[in-house]
A and B are shown apart, each in its own frame.
Chain A
Amino acid sequence: MKHLLITTVFLMSIWMEGQAQTILRLIDRSNGTPIEQGVVYIQAPNQKGRHVFISDTNGEVHLPTTAILYIEISHINFKPKKDTVHQTSVKTVYLTPEPTTLSEVVVVGQHQPQSIKNAVFNVRAINSDRIEKLAATDVPTLLSQQLNIRMSRDNATGTSGISFQGLSGQYVKVLINGIPMEGRSGVANAIDLGQLDVNLIEKIEIVEGPMSVEYGSDALAGVINIVTKKNKKPFEATLVTQTETVGDEFDFFDKGIHSVGLLLGIAPSDKISANLSAKRYLFMGWQGESEGRTQDWYPKQQSIFNTGLQFTPTNALSIDYQLDWLHETLSNHGPVVDKNPLKDPVAIDETYTTRRQQHRLQTIINTKQIEHNTSISFSDYTRNTNQYILNLVNNDKTNTASENQEYVQLKSWFLRHYLTKNMAFGSLVIGAEGQIDHSSATTLSKGEKTMESYALYSSLEIKLNKFKFRPGIRMEKNSQFSTVPTATLNAQYKFNEKIQLRMGYGRGYRTPSIRELYHEFIDSNHNILGNPNLEPEYSNNFNTRLDYSFEKSSTHVLLAAYYNHLKNKITYFTPTAVNSPTSYINLLEYTTWGGRIEATHPIKSFKIVGGVGLLALEQKLNEFSQVPDFTFSPEINLQPSFTFQNAHLTLLLNCKYTGAVSRYQIVEEQPELGKIEGYFMGDFTLNKKIKNAITLSAGIKNLLNVSTINSSSPNGPHGGSAFSVGYGRSYFFYFKYNFSQP
């Protein structure tokens, strides 16, 4: 407001003198494109006042004078620059980009939003520009391209799982705008990241290392925060459609991937804005090696809906309400049963239906010294398994026996209030959090289960010249188990603008899942019961990261390493006493360590991002047998891109090699090594923009046509052999149309 006023006065005074102008043109040194939203401070000689201008879409700033001026230019993505303007009519200023991996602003776990470069944690981000360029249809695909992150697919349930620093999805906390996403389910006890709408994502923030002080249970390997798009324009409409083959299977109606998304936003004033988005996604399945009606990858149908309302009556208050709604159906088609000529051919099919909704209300109140941040959220998650007989003559459906119809329901209330106080030496956050979960399921013992947890936490960020320290502590009271205080300490040392070093220690924990506490599975050959006396799992994590940026070339190199030691890990246990059920027990220990080296190197229009990662695992499998040693698994990724500026065309190659993974399993009381082979995934994308309104992408996914890889898992009653990682080479076409009223 203040700047605007000054600028107006300044403009008016110049206007009186005449219409002579100086045009400043801001250009990106790396690729020659104009820079929008550059902040230009100008100051006339012998004058005290400074005035601010913002560059337009052509990168231009019209200075209403031809007098000599000092200028200072800053932009979040570029290195700051100072210069002088001498009575010229047009002046071009070249700016050197900051390495993009460092300039991204992150919010997760931060006292204030800040760039990755200044964040005390080891953070990385995937922004909407990259999501669009890759034409990703889901989050798992995006994450699988990152080092230290591996995605897997459960063939039996068709859901996606994540492994982060060698730890499975149950140790990763997933947040949407900082509020936990609920609905962990299944044996994996993980959030299904395939159930998010990519079109709505502004940015995915990934923090490596425990964030248990800020986010409590499950934030042990790390945190994934989904930041959603917020509309600021008076009116904006975006249509996104995508068509894709599934391997070599494609058909207008019955095969392939068909997806359409619509986003609408209005902001009648700068105090109020509303947004609405809807997406329909059809994955028609992949037959693969299966025959007849059966499919290796189950068809999936998703309808995702989001709506929100933001109200900012004053600078000191903002209110944000969001509703997410999802309906997903996976269909498992059984083989045709038609051997009896007297009966109609039938098939036994199963559908897995997930319904998920979450209401989130976030309020920020800014007093002079303190910012209050309150979040309330309610989520309702259900997953139903419906088994039915489909008559293939008249498409009649009849449910099979009631024991084949299953459900899981989880209702969760979440409340968090924290305040941030800025002080001379840094900032302080104090927060309180409460969560109440109600759940019931056919696989649990009878009755509704309730779990309550309340926590107090605090963290202090201290700046001392080039040092930044951040100690934190959390105390939690849980209705089911006792917990001990959780502490973290993170530090950053900024040698200079080029080199930063981070080191951190964190303690993480995971409270036992409802399933582990109350599971009930009894039939003729199984007798599994949950254990209500379980205790939380704990971990100690050490991590470090070194960043180096080359001044001129915008080249950036980072080295990161981590060590996780997990204790009290929950596992199945069968006592030797008479007819005792198998249950769960805190028994195992698990160690992972690893690291990555990553480099970004732009050469004019050509940019290459590449890295190497390493994962090491050590398991203590039971009290008697310690497995011999660590097993290692390497990773390599390479993401070269080339941009034709004039044609607004980008070519992008995106490759990752995931090395073989070996894991020990107990077979006949002896550890035995099982191995999953390594594989290569590569995508090629061609991306073209037409007049900022239209984006077209086309390309090839899974260039090397990978589908199943071999796995030698030790023999057991349910030992497996092949492991499905992809469905072969496929082709896609992506179309986006954006209309906005500025």
Chain B
Amino acid sequence: MNFKKTLLICLMAWTVVPLACKDDVVLAPITINFTNPASGLSSSDKENDITLTLSRPASGNGSIVLGLSSLNLNYGANQDFFTNPDMKNDQIILPFSEGDESIGFTMSVGTNLNIQKEATVTINILKVTENFQAGTQNQHTVSFSENFVSDAGIIELSAGGSGFTHQAFVDISKNNQTQIANNAWDLGFYSGSDGNYITLNSGGFVMSRPINKTDLAAVGATDTIGFAAAMTIPQYDPSVGAAAWVDAPNGDLSNTAMHSFENGQVYIVRRVGENRNWKKIQITTSADGYVLKSADISSNEIRTVSITKDPAYNFLFADLDNGLIGVEPQKEKWDLMYGTYTEVLNFGGSIPYGYKDYLIINRYNTKVAEVLIADIPFQSFSKEHLTNTTWNNDTNAIGSKWRNGGGPGSEPSLKEDRYYVIEDAAGLYYKIQFTRLTSTSGERGYPEFKYEKISE
């Protein structure tokens, strides 16, 4: 009797107890590290942001004390180098506030620097506020050199947030990133001596559709009836043929929307963004470049721009409202472009489709290989593996392959099982692995990757 009762009570207790709540408060100090172990300053890169990363947003206000040491360099704007905030007694004190995720200061080249001296400044974390701790990457070296090469680091790409307003160009070996507004330009003019090609701003969803006329002035609104409905990205109806009005997404120059521009045809250019009217254009080649004629569709105020090839660049760029504009860095000074892009999908026929979180590699000297962690772990990849690697030099070799697409009820996510090896424009090999798809607060447009140079 008593045994039975006890048994029953035990059974009941056994089934009820798991419903109790569990305590899950954990206290752990926040770790502070230099974001990158090294950076470089040169005659073309005269100012550098040096940042420290907190392992999570600061739980309170505090400060960090950095110690700077250098051999044979003098401090001051008129000397070799200077910082903001100012260095005092070989130290910089950086305050931070609750919620901050990174802290930074700038270091600049002084007017008196002799870059040929190949000097360095070493920065150490000396002291941090209580409840914070310095991590293992507690030292950062700044090289004053024309030949600085970054061995490892972390780069957070920026397309201007979830609105994807910008395109970002990254030079991995310099740990450097520059941005340009998505809709700042329309056309690219190939600058190489091996041919004449026109590309579209595929990141800005520009489209170009030929019409069967060769007199720009004779083209008017009546020639473009129905174009607005047809020239869209995405255009789900393959029978419209809209895929022919965008460039081949792999960067194949013989397969661009305007591959036959030399026939003298007029093209209607669809542009996106505020105050960016659709245009009619006609392009001819000249001895050392191109001549671009453009006007609003129902206007005959024709604007003519002459473009002279410059071998330092892959392309020269034009904004149909404002003429020539700088977009890509010099061809040896970038590796990756990040932002939106126009893909061509098979939807029972080809259709153009807009992608976010898309990556393009530099067509100059650059190639990539995708490696599965299951085959070779990230840390194990070394120069011996380079020979057995399958390289791809399509500009969209990475494209959107590094992430999973979203759908109704599911967000896009990072593909955790792979990383990339890249031979950059300068002939250096890096392995890169994405660490985030979104910002730390979940906003799209701010992915992050880490990289390591593969030493030869």
Chain A residues close to B by CB (< 8 Å): 156-157, 187, 239, 241-243, 252-253, 258-260, 280, 282, 334-335, 337, 339-344, 346, 348, 387-389, 391, 393-396, 398, 400-401, 403-404, 524-525, 574, 576-579, 667-668, 694, 717-718, 733, 735, 737
Residues of A within 8 A of B11 (CB): 241, 735
- Chain B residues lying within 8 Å of A239, measured Cβ to Cβ, are 12
Known: A253-B22, A340-B436, A576-B237. 7 other contacts (CB 8 A): A258-B18, A258-B19, A337-B435, A342-B55, A344-B56, A579-B232, A717-B407
Chain A residue, CB-CB nearest to B26: A394
- Among candidates B14, B35, B57, B409, residue contacting A342 with C-beta atoms closer than 8 Å: B35
Query: What are 11 A-B contacts with C-beta separation under 8 Å?
Result: A241-B11, A243-B14, A282-B19, A337-B435, A339-B435, A342-B55, A343-B56, A387-B411, A389-B441, A395-B24, A737-B8
Quick one: which of B55, B353, B410 contacts A156, CB cutoff 8 A? B410
A407 to B433 CA separation, bound complex (whole angstroms): 36
Of the residues A391, A524, A577, A733, contact of B56 by C-beta under 8 Å: A391
| Cβ-defined contact, A260 with B16, below 8 A | yes
Residues from chain B with a CB closer than 8 A to the CB of A340 are: 154, 435-436, 448, 450
Q: How many A-B residue pairs have CB under 8 A?
A: 125
Measured between beta carbons, the chain B residues less than 8 angstroms from A343 are 53, 55-56, 435, 440
Q: Is there contact, CB below 8 Å, between B26 and A393?
A: yes
A342 to B237, CA, bound (A): 47
Query: How far apart are B66's CB and chain A's nearest CB, in angstroms?
Result: 16
Contact A396 B19 (CB under 8 A): no
- B15: CB under 8 A from chain A? yes
Contact among B15, B57, B236, B440 for A241, CB-based, below 8 A: B15
**Residue in A282, A348, A574 whose beta carbon sits within 8 Å of that of B442 in the complex:** A348
Considering only CB atoms, which chain B residue lies closest to A292 in the complex?
A: B416
Interface residues of B in 6-62 (CB under 8 A from A): 8, 11-12, 14-19, 22, 24-28, 31, 33, 35, 53, 55-57
Contact A337 B234 (CB under 8 A): no
A387 touches B154 (CB 8 A): no
Closest to B136 in A: A341
B residues engaging A (CB < 8 A)?
A: 8, 11-12, 14-19, 22, 24-28, 31, 33, 35, 53, 55-57, 135, 137, 154, 162, 228-229, 232, 234, 236-237, 348, 353-354, 356, 407-411, 413-414, 416, 433-436, 438, 440-443, 448, 450
| A-chain residues with CB within 8 Å of residue B413 when the two chains form the complex | 334-335
Interfacial chain B residues near A258, Cβ < 8 Å: 15, 18-19
- With both beta carbons as reference points, the residue of chain B lying nearest to A239 in the complex is identified as B12
In Å, the complex CA distance between A346 and B57 comes to 12
List the B residue with the shortest CB-CB distance to A154.
B409
- Most chain B Cβ neighbours within 10 Å, of A253, A388, A525, A694: A525
- A404 touching B442 in the complex, CB below 8 Å, given contacts A156-B408, A342-B55, A395-B24: yes
Residues of A within 8 A of B12 (CB): 239, 241, 735, 737
Specify which chain A residues have a CB less than 8 angstroms from the CB of B440 in the assembled complex.
343, 346, 389
Residues of A within 8 A of B53 (CB): 342-343
Determine if A243 and B15 form an interchain contact, defined as CB atoms under 8 angstroms apart.
Answer: yes
Contact of B414 among A187, A337, A667 (CB under 8 A): A337
Q: B292 → chain A, closest Cβ, in Å? A: 28
> How far is it, in angstroms, between the C-alpha of A44 and the C-alpha of B441 when the chains are bound?
87
Complex partner residue of B416 from A335, A342, A398, CB under 8 angstroms: A335
Whether the pair B443, A401 counts as a contact (CB closer than 8 A) is: yes
Q: Which residues of the partner chain A approach B228 to less than 8 Å between Cβ atoms? A: 578-579
A388 proximity list for chain B (CB < 8 A): 442
Indicate if the CB atoms of B15 and A242 lie closer than 8 Å. Answer: yes
A694 to B28, CA, bound (A): 49
Beta-carbon contact of A398 and B441 below 8 Å: yes
- Given the known inter-chain contacts A524-B356, A578-B228, please indicate yes or no for A394 contacting B28, CB distance below 8 A: yes
